[in-house]
Homo-oligomer: A and B are copies of this chain.
Amino acid sequence: MKVLGILGSPHKDGGSAQLLFASLKSAEIFGAETEWVSLYDGEIKPCIGCIQDEEPDCKYPCIFEDYGKEILEKIYQAEGIIFATPVYWFAPSGPLKTLIDRMTCLENMVAFGEPSYMEKKVVGVIAVGADAGGELAGGYLITTLTSMGAIVPPWGIAYSHKGKNAVYDDKALLDAINIGILVTEMIFTLKGTPKPLTFRDDRELMQKIRKEVLQIIFQEEKGETRRKGSSI
């Protein structure tokens, strides 16, 4: 079972990275294989809207040969995806919005008699800002992902207004950890091997994961950036 983390932030040690790492850690603990990528590690060309043509050209794989294509492939292969974004003006960052636009090629397979390639992928979203707008950015993402055919588990949105200190925002950290669990649980359920996972307020697990996230972040700050595509 593969869960992909997508970081829409320029900062690999910032609040959205922190909560993303926490949710991936918990997904791992509960049985998922994880991987993460940063949208700022390469160029993602803007979507040019092939979909509007009378003869629809928009299909997977997208025509652009760029870093965006690599990410679309990872999305295609993943069973679960956790999107983490900073809140820029109440919404996902530009690169994440650009990726969403490019994901049209996955969904638009319906125009070619196939199911959406996003169908029944399980998604969670994390949004971290310094002020407000987390739930607006998060709400936007789940509305869009649902409309692509993905499944949002209960409480599939976590947000914090604590910016770089999100990892110390207990409520948000618990929510992020929960997302890792709930995404994993939903994938098990969809596979026909239900495995009810519970976490809720396990403060010990939270402390443990916080510590691990801080270690990763600290390595990032020392410049020991892990290569993209690495597991946590």
Give me the interface of A with B, judged by CB distance under 8 Å: 9-11, 14, 40, 44, 46-49, 51-52, 86, 88-95, 97-102, 104, 116, 119-120, 130, 132-136, 138-140, 142-144, 146-147, 149-157, 159, 161, 163-164, 189-190, 192, 194
Contact = CB atoms under 8 A, between A and B. Distances in A.
Given A119-B154, A139-B140, A142-B143, A88 B49 contact: yes
A140 B101 contact: no
B143 A157 contact: yes
A139 to B, nearest CB: 3
Contacts of A94: 44, 46-47, 94-95, 97-102
B132 A132 contact: yes
Nearest to A135: B132
B93 A46 contact: yes
Given A52-B14, A136-B135, A146-B142, A91 B91 contact: yes
A110 B164 CA distance: 21
Specify how many copies of this chain sit in the oligomer. Answer: 4
Contacts of A93: 46-47, 97, 101
B146 A152 contact: yes
Contacts of A130: 51-52
Nearest to A198: B115
B100 A89 contact: yes
Contact of A154 (B51, B151, B189, B194): B151
A49 B11 contact: yes
A138 B147 CA distance: 11
Nearest to A144: B89
B134 A138 contact: no
A172 to B, nearest CB: 10
A143 B48 CA distance: 26
B149 A151 contact: no
Contacts of A152: 142, 146, 151-152
A211 to B, nearest CB: 23
